[in-house]
Structure 1
Amino acid sequence: MTTSQSMDWQWENAVAGSVAGLATVTFSHPLDVVRTRFQVYDGRNPNLPCYRNTPHALFTIGRLEGLRGLYAGFNPAVLGSTLSWGLYFYFYNSAKQRYMENQDKTIVGTSAGIHLASAAEAGVLVCLSTNPVWVVKTRLQLQTPHHCGRPYSGFSDAFKTILKDEGWRALYKGLLPGLFLVSHGAIQFTAYEELRKIIIEFRHKQNPSVNKSSDSLTTIDYATLGASSKLVAILATYPFQQRPNIYGVPRYADSGHAMEKTVRLEGIKGFYGGLTANLLKTLPAASITFIAYENVLYLLKQTKRRG
């Protein structure tokens, strides 16, 4: 692959990733709002609404706050998701190509090792690039009728207010646990790549005339692979998520304090707050992400061939 072909291929991955991010966030945002609110509720703050379960939360938010509440923080979510997925697929495929070209010179020898290292590298770079967007999105999602401070009017206002009142460091709150959770993406992409390879090889053995490439996979395959790989990553990393601070008021000094306080106040169950909403949102969302990504990438390749 020439340098020019390599750059085109990487940008095709970035475009496909951005479209996938847009499709995913549009579908899953209300459940993300519910997940965020469940994660910050510990039963001790009277200013936070209490929801019995995910359907009750969706119904209550919709009744009291309307679509505005269900899609709170949607603009930064769209920005963050399209930017994150575009950059992630760009960095991931760039790193994977580099590791494969230098396979004999690195300690990352196996295909699983290459996928794991590539996904981890991409995750770190994306985390550093997009953390401010996710901070603003979380603040906007946590605005409820019970909010006791001055509400933000939107993404721009929230960004400016946080920067003015709390400084640039506030935009990087949660960066450390975010970097720690890079392992989530690394596990997900490794599982996706390895499961995809198993399916392709199995079909080729069953029918040698089947092309040994991703072109032999269907939309149902991508949906299944996306959901399965996401489930593996969630079960492996969900308990280590740190809850966000509320309205700029620190709840935890650091990740260790967050874990200690959660165990003391809520027990092991506290580490799985919002898990149902998370699974309902992330498993279909992961399917949508990879369906959109793989199909857009295929269309881009076909368009280039015709041109």
Structure 2
Amino acid sequence: MSDNVAHALSGAGGGIVSMALTYPLVSISSRLQVQKNDDSKDAYKNTVDAFVKILAKEGPRGLYSGLSSGIFGIAITNGVYYYCYEAVKAIFEKAKGQGKPMSTPESMLAGALAGSAVVFATNPIWTVNTRLTVRKGVEGKKPNALNVFLSILKNEGIAGLYSGVMAALVLVINPIIQYTVFEQLKNKIAKSKELSNFDFFLLGAFSKLCATGITYPYIVIKSRMQVSQNSEDRYTSIWDGFKKIIASEGVGGLYKGISSKITQSILTAAFLFMAKEMLFDWAVWALVLTGARKAKIAGKA
């Protein structure tokens, strides 16, 4: 068995660690993204205000609404992404021979293929997670992921589970930017020194900062499309979402919650890359122990 499975397992593990550590920021940024113009006293003015109000009204649990589906979603997302990305990467590197790293266009293509696979595999999970997190379109005092999933399926059909899928496909460019920046910087730095866990932390943070800053308006539109809306407020397309947000909220509406999202994204990516590198050897060891992978002998897998 190739290292693709080990990359998938360590990526999933790293995703779980990073999501668990940063979930309150995920919750806050999601609520800010779907909040439209609202001058009521309960409206969230910024990240700190949202944190205080959620804590006061819902307690610590409010900051972790939808955590289980978020953990499940990030594990599947990263597992599928890393498996596909490493598989495509291996094909490119094998074709080039002599262990030459991928070029920038090849990194982008690998990211696009892996990202597209992730969108179709996980969009229903993230639709459920978004509704649980922002508590819109969710019935019951103590809803859970399964109940929300079945409710969407019953009331909106399969299409409801894939709300915002087109915006999600556009957002495939986010990990493309992220992993391209990460891989290219890693390759350059690796020529002069051996990278430490802290180096991976910094590279993960910087690459995610670049990606999120560029793609944030699409993140807002995707979140709103995933939340149940009145017919008059529903976005029929990405372009329709852009027009309606700008018309009613101005350009600033496209960047609601960006401070908490960038903070969360940077920390998530930083912890993810660091944890993945730390967990990779453990994943290989576990596969060898279970007989799913041959032990590396004389420099060969």
Same fold? TM cut 0.5: yes
- The whole-number CA distance in structure 2 between the counterparts of 1:83 and 1:57 is 29
Q: Give the RMSD, CA atoms, in angstroms.
A: 2.4
User: Out of 203, 214, 218, which is 1:240 matched to?
Assistant: 218
Q: Post-superposition shift, 1:249?
A: 3.5
CA contact (8 A) 1:143 1:151 kept: no
Q: CA separation in 2, counterparts of 1:198 and 1:99? A: 19
The one of 6, 14, 23 equivalent to 1:12 is 6
Give the secondary structure class of the aligned counterpart of 2:224.
coil
Please give the secondary structure, in 1, of the residue aligned with 2:37: coil
Deviation at 1:75, TM superposition (A): 1.1
Q: Could you tell me which residue of structure 1 aligns to residue 181 of structure 2?
A: 191
Of residues 35, 40, 48, the one that matches 1:41 is: 35
Seen in structure 2, the aligned counterparts of structure 1 residues 281 and 63 have a Cα distance that, compared at 3 Å, is same
What is the distance in 2 between the residues matched to 1:124 and 1:235?
20
- Residue aligning to 2:62: 69
1:82 has 2:75 as partner: yes
- Once residues 306 and 95 of structure 1 are traced to their aligned partners in structure 2, the CA distance between those partners, rounded to angstroms, is 22
Structure 1 unaligned spans of 5+: 204-215
Report the Cα distance in structure 1 between the residues aligned to 2:160 and 2:42, rounded to whole angstroms.
25
Distance 1:220 1:120, change over 3 A: same
Contact 2:89 2:102 in 1 (8 A): no
> Are the counterparts in 2 of residues 92 and 119 from structure 1 also a CA contact under 8 Å?
yes
Quote the Cα distance in structure 1 between the aligned partners of 2:112 and 2:285: 30
User: 1:73-152 residue pairs with structure 2 within 5 A?
Assistant: 73-103=66-96, 111-143=103-135, 150=140
Question: Given the alignment, which residue of 172, 179, 182 partners 1:182?
Answer: 172
The SS at the match of 1:167 is helix
Aligned partners of 2:93 and 2:102 also within 8 Å: no
Give the drift of 1:124: 0.2
TM-superposition CA deviations, 1:95-118 (whole Å, max 9, x none): 1111222349xxxx9611221111
Q: Which ranges of structure 2 fall in alignment gaps of 5 or more residues?
A: 289-294
Counterpart of 1:293?
276
Cα 1:237–1:127 shift into 2, 3 Å: same
Tell whether the 8 Å contact from 1:140 to 1:152 is kept in structure 2 after alignment.
Answer: no
Rate the CA distance shift 1:21–1:148 in 2: closer, same or farther, 3 A: closer
1:306 Cα shift?
8.6
Cα distance in structure 2, aligned partners of 1:22 and 1:302: 20
**SS where residue 44 of structure 2 aligns?**
coil
Residue deviations 1:132-190, cap 9 Å, x none? 0000001111217xx89655620111011111111111000110010011001111000
1:153 pairs with one of 133, 143, 147: 143
Is 1:259 paired with 2:236?
Answer: no
Identical amino acids, percent of aligned pairs: 29
Match of 1:60 among 26, 49, 53: 53
Give the distance between the partners of 1:86 and 1:103, measured in 2 at CA. 26
Q: CA deviation at 1:298?
A: 3.1
Runs of 4+ in 1 over 4 A off after TM superposition: 147-152, 301-307
Tell me by how many angstroms 1:49 deviates: 3.8
Q: 1:172 to 1:40 in 2, by over 3 A?
A: same
Question: Which amino acid is 2:228 matched to?
Answer: Y
CA contact (8 A) 1:152 1:158 kept: no
TM-score normalised per structure 1 = 0.85
How many matched pairs?
282
Structure 2 residue 21 is matched with structure 1 residue 21: no
Residue matched to 1:279: 262
Report the counterpart of residue 291 of structure 2 in structure 1: none
Deviation, 1:266, is 1.8
Q: How many Å separate the matches in 1 of 2:218 and 2:126? A: 18
